[in-house]
Amino acid sequence: MSDHAVLDGRRARGDASRRVVLQSATDLASVDGLDGLTIGRLSEASGYSKSSIATLFQSKERLQLATVAAAREIFVAQIVEPARSEPRGVRRLAALMRNGLVYSRDRVFTGGCFFAATAADVDSKPGPVSDAVRAGLSDWYAYVGMQIRYAVDAGEIEVDDIEVLAFELIALDDQANSRSLLMRDERPYALAAAAMRGRLRAAGADEDAVALLEL
């Protein structure tokens, strides 16, 4: 076997190990926060030794950054990509908000929304990890706002302030996640969806688009 083949095999095994460890890391961080993500806890959860995890990530900060990146990929795959089957504007907006509620309700992560959990952990702390969480959320906020802008420009809805509507819809999503976790109850998701439907109806959205927010 050539040296190149040996290196490729090691790289493939390393990548596979990294994926397994990060799967455990994202779930742990959704419950314990990024500061609570220790190599010891991760070793227990993933089945990999502490030394193997240390070799894969080199430092706690690099582990945290890799965990945020992995969670962001899952967020996009679960919420954003499926919504892209709908045309830009109010239909994609409704699909995004529904997907966000389902992602939390179905506990893709044990602690609900990964970014809601970790934002509270790092919001007042400077540094690359806080910047990574902030960047992920900023992109989400901007994408929701973009769909509202498309909907307004296309005459699908009328709103006084695009940023306010985006804030309201995201706040409903966040509150459903938080209350459901605290109360151990799925009803907040139905309440949030109903409130979102009402807000879109008030803005003049077509009922077919509003119906996409049925849970």
CATH value at residue 82: 1.10.357.10
Question: Looking at the domain assignment, is residue 109 inside a domain?
Answer: yes
Note down the domain range covering 146: 60-213
Asked, for residue 196, whether it belongs to a domain, the answer is yes
13 is a domain residue: no
Q: Where are the beta strands (DSSP E) in 52-121?
A: none
- Residue 45 CA to residue 139 CA, distance in Å, equals 30
Q: What is the pLDDT of residue 12?
A: 52
Structural domain count of the chain: 1
Question: Is residue 85 assigned to a domain?
Answer: yes
Which positions of the chain have pLDDT values less than 70? Answer: 1-14
Full-model pTM: 0.90
177 domain-assigned: yes
What is the per-residue pLDDT across 151-164, written as a single tens digit (0 to 9) for each? 999 999 999 999 99
d(CA 37, CA 66): 12
Which pLDDT belongs to residue 13? 63
Q: Is 28 domain-assigned? A: no
Answer yes or no: is 32 within a domain: no
Q: Domain for residue 35, yes or no? A: no
Q: Which residues contact 104 (CB under 8 A, 6 or more apart)?
A: 112, 113, 116, 173, 176, 177, 180, 189
Conformational region of residue 101, where left means phi above 0, alpha means psi within -120 to 50, and beta covers everything else:
alpha
